[in-house]
Amino acid sequence: MFGYVNVNRETLSPENEARFRAYYCGLCRALRKRHGLTGTLTLSNDMTFLAMVLSGLYEPEEQSGREICVAHPLKKHDWVATEATDYAADMNVMLAYHLCMDDWRDEKKPLSLAEAGLVRRGYQRVKARYPEKCEFIADMIAALSDLEKKGPDGDIDAPTNLTGELIGELFAWREDEWKAPLTRMGAALGRFIYLMDAYDDLPRDLKKGSYNPLKPIADAPDYEDRCLDALTMHIAECSEVFEMLPILRDAGLMRNILYSGVWTKYAYIQSRKEKGKQK
């Protein structure tokens, strides 16, 4: 599920690229401080984006610095972090743990069980801090697993909406006036991520016989158009909510992600398909 919220470096200014790297390193630093080196294994662009959105909206005090670390042992690098970064780090560990355990339960992947074991202690700390969120995420992933066990039935909306609810809950940091719009924004982004993941994985899932909600429409003549329309609809809703939020800090960087970066994977998939046709 991770890996689809990216920047588009071709259209990113040097200043914004450095700022994104600083946020990314800030999240890595928060993961290391809160959950140890094993916590940094869960680091993702997706939760970096969450930290940026929440920092931009709530504008908590920002900390920054330069340091070396295990990943960059020879050269100091900039990092930026806020209270929202700590929250994103916790959500990163929680989601990674549940996804690894879900892979283990469904496919008995030893690597997934091992990865879950590495972050289990961190997850227990997060669970103590956010018991209701952990329970909600566990319920959503279990519901997704139940749908997958039944096999694709042509109802693409059911698993897509469950993922939307899951990500929407992660975006709802506080019980305040911003909870509703943040939940809606996260839910739309979650639906986009789930559908993009299914679109990306379809060729492999067809070969392996694995679950994919797009299988029933894979041979339809309008398959590509339907997928593109749905993806556009979900990310457009996410972007619409974002534009209604009073976010000024790093807004240009976040627009790069929402309007361009999230589509870099789609462009890569199209390029891959085109090369396949030429062969």
pLDDT value at residue 279: 61
The number of domains in the chain is 1
Q: Which domain holds residue 221?
A: 9-261
pTM reported for the whole predicted model: 0.94
Domain assignment present for residue 273? The answer is no
Q: What is the pLDDT of residue 111?
A: 83
Cα 214 to Cα 154: distance, rounded to the nearest angstrom: 7
Let me know if residue 160 belongs to a domain: yes
Q: What is residue 113's predicted lDDT score, i.e. its pLDDT?
A: 84
Decide if 192 is inside a domain: yes
Any domain includes 275: no
Count the helices and strands in the chain (H runs, E runs). Answer: 10, 2
Instruction: Determine the Cα–Cα distance for residues 89 and 199; give it in Å rounded to an integer.
Output: 28
The answer to whether 98 and 116 are in contact (CB under 8 A) is no
User: How long is the chain?
Assistant: 279
Residue 273: predicted pLDDT: 82
CA dist 211 to 103, 111, 144, 153, 201, Å? 12, 20, 11, 10, 10
pLDDT (0 to 100) of residue 1: 59
The answer to whether position 26 is within a domain reads yes
Assess if residue 278 is contained within a domain.
no
pLDDT score, position 196:
96
What is the reported pLDDT for 277? 72
Kindly state whether residue 2 falls inside one of the protein's structural domains.
no
Confirm whether 1 is domain-assigned. no
Whichever domain contains 173, its CATH number is 1.10.600.10
Per-residue tens of pLDDT for the chain, all 279 residues: 577 999 999 999 999 999 999 999 999 999 999 999 888 988 999 999 999 999 999 999 999 999 988 777 878 999 999 999 999 999 999 999 988 888 887 677 788 888 889 889 999 999 999 999 999 999 999 999 899 888 888 889 999 999 999 999 999 999 999 999 999 999 999 999 999 999 999 999 999 998 999 999 999 999 999 999 999 999 999 999 999 999 999 999 999 999 999 999 999 999 888 877 766
